[in-house]
Amino acid sequence: YQGRLHIQEDGQLNVQRLLAQEAATEAPQAPPSEEPEQPADTTQEAAWTVELPAIFVSNSTLDFLDESLPIRFRTVVGDLDGTITGLSSRKGQPLEVDLKGSVDGYAPVTFSGTASPLQEPPSLDLRLRFRGLDMARLTPYSGTYAGYAIEDGVMTVDLRYGLENNRLQGNNQIVIDQLQLGERIESSKALDLPLRLGIALLTDSNGVIDLAVPVSGDVNNPQFSLGSVIAGAFVNLLTKAITAPFALLANLVGSSEDLDTVDFAAGSSELDDHGQGKLRDLAAAMQQRPELSLQISGRLELDSDRTQLQRQLARSALLDAGLSEQDIRDRTRAWEDVVTNLYAELPAAEPTDADAEGPSVLQQARILRDQWPVPDEALTTLATQRATTTKDFLLNEGIPAERLGVTASEEESTEKRFSGVELAITVD
């Protein structure tokens, strides 16, 4: 036996449409009558009742086509065995399907469930499972809709649809193992998304992508299309991963933090406890997504960072002049002499001869602290040190060096103005 099972774009089965068309064609037309029309006798069944108690299938072939999927899926199932029982137009009597076979002689496939295609409203509870499909054979579809050929990968598809009161509920589980994209294929129908990044975000440490794609909709809606509903759900899932990759990574490790930034204290390149905790979470998530890399950029908040650097440089100048920490703390005579000398060297300092009245030593120290010149390279160095500190921490957490890059640091981000580092996800 050779048969066809086609799921149309609107979710209907080909057998459902065929039988409905035949019933409409073969139904006898009542001749015109001069007698007044009498109310229909609802106690009697319809003039025509379709009954097909059982179909036994053995060593058969089924041409399966699903046009409802975002990627039109077609395959031929061989070695098909099983039964289809109870096809009837009687209300409340669904047919039952229980079929097993294989694709290409090795990938098992099962069809099971119930359906009432001849009743109004129709109902459906159907499960289709394909296991171990060679994804390379899907290149014609992936090239058209994804813009890439498929070099390797194995896919398991578990499709389950329920239809009740014209309301469709679908729970689709797609598991893809060791997916490898091939060359780029130009296609006007391809998704305008960074597909390689999306795949890397969804692929776990075992090389597996496990997607749950639930769908729902009202089949009575003239705008309803099962293919569009599934495609929309799939694209939304991929888009969410691509547009919010750090939210996905945080979810992997149960974190509620924004893992794309790490704050540093003004003027500092040392991580505090909170920053270390965020990076530990990020490292744990990166371990689960081995295809991802990070670009680390140091950032500055110019006002606060410059102020803190001024104070640090002024203090360093006091120490370089031979003062001890105790001299600075106790404001010794030696401290007063050094402060006076350094103040006199400031470009805007007033003369400090004995007869001229000027700021006190304490005021001079404050001026040194607040006006010490900060070269631009000191700010750039601070931003770079923050990025390097972050990279070193992630290295110690086990992330390989080839997955960590430090970009040229900017004095001030055009989008985010803060003291810290900003991280970006990349994929080779």
In this prediction, residue 26 carries a pLDDT of 52
Please indicate whether residue 251 or residue 25 has the higher confidence score (pLDDT).
251
| Mean pLDDT, rounded, for 277-299 | 96
Query: Is residue 28 scored above 80 in pLDDT?
Result: no
Task: Give, for 149, the enclosing helix (H) or strand (E).
Answer: strand 148-164
**DSSP 8-state class, residue 119:** S
Q: How much of the chain, in percent, has pLDDT values that exceed 70?
A: 79
Give the pLDDT score at 352.
52
- Structure confidence at residue 68 (pLDDT): 64
Mean pLDDT, range 325-351, rounded to an integer: 83
Give the residue-averaged pLDDT of 156-162.
85
Mean pLDDT of the chain: 81
pLDDT at residue number 193: 83
Q: Which two tokens stand for residue 305?
A: 């960072």
Q: How far apart are CA 408 and CA 37, in angstroms?
A: 88
**DSSP classification of residue 291:** T
- pLDDT of 174 reads 86
Q: What mean pLDDT comes out for the span 228-232?
A: 58
Mean pLDDT (whole number) for 83-104: 83
Identify the pLDDT of residue 220.
Answer: 60
Burial 266-301 (b: 16+ CB within 10 A, else e): bbbbebeeebeebbebbbbbbeebbbbbbebbbbbb
H helix count then E strand count, the chain: 11, 13
Q: Which CATH number fits domain 245-428: 3.30.1330.60, 3.40.50.280, 3.30.980.10, 2.70.98.10?
A: 3.30.1330.60
Q: List pLDDT tens digits, range 345-377.
A: 877 655 555 545 678 889 888 888 888 888 889
Binning pLDDT at 50, 70 and 90, where does residue 408 land? low
Largest CA distance in the chain: 133
pLDDT at 273 over 90: yes
Using a pLDDT cut of 90, give the percent of the chain over it: 32
Tokens for 60? Answer: 């058969």
Q: Rounded CA gap, 210 and 237, in Å?
A: 12
CB 422 within 8 A of CB 297: yes
**Which residue from 124, 128, 40, 54 is spatially nearest to 88, judged by alpha carbons?**
54
Q: Which of 18-32, 355-369, 407-421 reaches the highest mean pLDDT? A: 355-369
For residue range 192-219, what is the model confidence (pLDDT) as tens digits? 888 889 999 999 999 999 988 777 666 5
371-386 mean pLDDT: 90
Average pLDDT rounded to a whole number, residues 294-310: 93
In angstroms, the Cα distances linking 228 to 9, 70, 206, 290 are 8, 7, 31, 32
Structure-model confidence comparison of residues 8 and 179, the more confident one: 179
Q: 173 exposed, middle or buried (CB, 10 Å; 0-12, 13-18, 19+)?
A: middle
Q: Which two tokens stand for residue 10?
A: 């609107």
Per the document, the length of the chain is 428
pLDDT, greater one: 304 or 3:
304
Per-residue model confidence (pLDDT) at position 1: 63
More reliable by pLDDT, 290 or 226: 290
Q: Label residue 268 by pLDDT band (50, 70, 90).
A: very high
Structure tokens at 293: 């890399």
CATH 3.30.1330.60 location in the chain: 245-428
Q: What is the pLDDT of residue 138?
A: 75
pLDDT (0 to 100) of residue 426: 94
Residue written as token pair 């997916």: 179
Peptide bond into 70 cis (omega under 30): no
What's the rounded mean pLDDT across residues 293-300? 95
Residue with tokens 């969410």: 240
pLDDT level of residue 71 (50, 70, 90 thresholds): low
When pLDDT is averaged across residues 9-36 and rounded to a whole number, the result is 56
Q: Which residue has 């813009």 as its token pair?
A: 147
Query: Among 83-87, 257-261, 390-394, where is mean pLDDT lowest?
Result: 83-87
Q: What is the pLDDT of residue 414?
A: 47
